[in-house]
Amino acid sequence: MPRPLARVLTLLELLQSGGTRTVRELADRLNVDERTVRRYAQQLVDLDVPVESVRGRYGGYRLAPGYRMPPLMLSDDEALAVLLGLVAARRSGLTAATDTASETAAAKIRRVLPERLRRSLDAVLGSLAFADPPGRAAAAPEPAVLLPVADAVHHHRPVSIRYTAGDGRRSERTLHPYGVVAHSGRWYVTAADLSAGQDRTFRLDRITSVRILPGSFEPPVGIDPAERVLTALATVPYRYEVSLRVQGTTAQVHDLLPSGIALVTEIPRPAGASTGTGAWCRVELRVDRLDWLPAVLSSMDRPFVIERPHELRGLVEALAERLADSARRSPG
C-alpha cells in the first residue's frame, strides 16, 4: 500500500480510538509535519468521514460523536469486482485527476472487509501485472480461480489445476505459479509446469478448478511475468511463420511491432563493420493470415527484407502496385 495512503488510514484509526487529538500529536504519530496532517484530515472529510476540527489551545481533530465505520457486506465476487474496477479505472485514465481519492476509496473498502477476504484481494493486487498499454482492461476471471492462483503466486505455493486446452483436451497439472497477467481482454498465469517439465502459460478462463498444495518454492530471480506471457503468445503455433529483417534498433522496431505480436532480436553487426552502419533486427511472427501485414510493413517506413514466407512477398508487391497506380492517377 502506498505510504501516504497508509498514513491516512492510520489517522482514521487514531481518531476512531476516541477523544480529540492535537495536530502536533498526530504529526508525531504519523511522522509528518502539521500541514500534512491537515491535508490527510481533509482527505477523510472528502470521503464523507465526519472529521471535526476543534479550535483552541488543546484543539485538533476528532470524529463526530457516535460515528463508526459501518460493516461492508460484500461477496468475494463483489469485492473483487470493486477493487479491480478501481485498478482498471486508474489504468484507463478515468481517474487520472483523482488518483488519491481512488486509492483511498480502495483502502476504505479493504479496511472493512473480513480479514480472509482482505488477504486474498491483497494477494491478487500484489501478484497482478498488465501486458496491455494503459487504456485497455481485461474482464476479470472467476474469483474461485483468480483468488487461489493469486494467493499461490503471492506466497510461492504450488497448485494443482484442472485445465481444458484450446482443442478441448482436459488435463490435471501441478504448477509453480510465477505471476498473473492481464493482456488483450484475457488473464493468464505463467508458471513452471511440473507435469511437463517446462515453463508454460495458461489462460485462467480455461482453468476449471484450483487446489493449493502443501509446501513452497523459490521463483526464478528477476522473473518478469508480463514479458513471459507476451513471449509465449508470440510463439504459439499458427498457420504462417513470418521472418523479416528490419532496419532499426530493437526499441525502435518494438514501437512499431509490439512484443505481444512479434519477437524482435537485434542482428549482430559483422566484424569490421563501420560504427555508422545502421542496426538491423530480425522480426518473427506467427499468424493465421498474411493479408494485414503488407499495410503494417509499409506504415513502418523502414527498410525491410522478407525472409519467409514467399506468399508475403507477393502480397507486398501487389500493395505497392496498387499504391503506385493510385499515385499516378490525375485528380478530377
Task: Tell me: pLDDT of 100 over 60.
Answer: no
In a domain, 206, yes or no: yes
The per-residue pLDDT of the chain, averaged, comes to 78
- 3-state DSSP helix/strand/coil percent for the chain, to nearest 5? 40, 25, 35
Report which of 193, 194, 165, 189 is spatially closest to residue 179, judged by C-alpha positions: 189
Does residue 213 sit in the same domain as residue 253? no
Q: Are residues 16 and 109 in the same domain?
A: no
Residue 226 belongs to some domain of the structure: no
**In this predicted structure, what is the pLDDT of residue 327?**
85
Q: Which residues pair with 164 in a beta bridge?
A: 170
Residue 316's pLDDT is what? 92
Boundary-marking domain end, from 13, 39, 63: 63
pLDDT in tens, 200-234: 889 888 999 999 999 999 988 888 887 887 777 66
Residue 252 in domain: yes
Kindly state whether residue 223 falls inside one of the protein's structural domains. Answer: no
Provide the pLDDT confidence category of residue 265 given band limits of 50, 70 and 90. Answer: confident
Residue 319 predicted with pLDDT over 70: yes
Report helix, strand or coil for 250: helix
Q: Are residues 83 and 197 in the same domain?
A: yes
- For residue 55, what is the domain's CATH number? 1.10.10.10
In a domain, 228, yes or no: no
In the chain, the number of structural domains is 3
Together in a domain, 51 and 82? no
- Could you tell me if 326 and 319 are in contact, meaning their C-beta atoms sit under 8 angstroms apart? no
Considering the domain architecture, whether residues 210 and 80 belong to the same structural domain is answered as yes
CA-to-CA separations, 169 to 141, 166, 293, 325, in angstroms, rounded: 20, 7, 32, 50
pLDDT (average), residues 9-18:
78
Tell me the C-alpha distance between 202 and 225, whole Å.
Answer: 12
Using an 8 Å Cβ cutoff, are 327 and 308 in contact?
A: no
pTM of the model: 0.45
Nearest to 178 by CA among 236, 222, 231: 222
Question: Could you tell me the pLDDT band of residue 94, with boundaries at 50, 70 and 90?
Answer: very low
Q: Which residues span the domain enclosing 173?
A: 76-217
The answer to whether residues 85 and 201 belong to one domain is: yes
Distance CA 327, CA 332 (A): 13
Question: Both 110 and 210 in a single domain?
Answer: yes
One domain for residues 16 and 132: no
More confident residue, 28 or 78: 28
Would you say residue 224 lies in a domain?
no
Whole-number pLDDT of residue 95: 47
69-85 residue pLDDT tens: 555 556 666 666 676 66
Q: Cell numbers of 253, please?
A: 522496431
Burial 258-280 (b: 16+ CB within 10 A, else e): ebbebbbeeeeeeeeeeeeeeeb
> Which domain-ending residue is among 165, 189, 217?
217
Same domain for 39 and 98, yes or no, is no
Q: Does 44 or 74 have the greater pLDDT score? A: 44
Q: Are residues 161 and 95 in the same domain?
A: yes
pLDDT at residue number 139: 56
Q: Could you tell me if 181 and 296 lie in one domain?
A: no
| 222 is a domain residue | no
pLDDT tens for residues 268-294?
876 665 554 578 999 988 777 888 889
Give the integer Cα–Cα distance in Å for 244 and 252: 15
Report pLDDT digits (tens) over 173-196. Answer: 999 999 888 776 678 898 999 988
The answer on 167 and 98 residing in a single domain is: yes
- Residue 14 in any domain: the answer is yes
Judging by DSSP bridges, how do beta strands 280-287 and 128-130 pair with one another?
unpaired
Per the listing, cell 505480436 goes with 261
Q: What CATH number is attached to the domain comprising 240?
A: 3.30.70.250
Residue 127 has pLDDT above 80, yes or no: no
In this prediction, what percent of the chain has a pLDDT beyond 90? 17
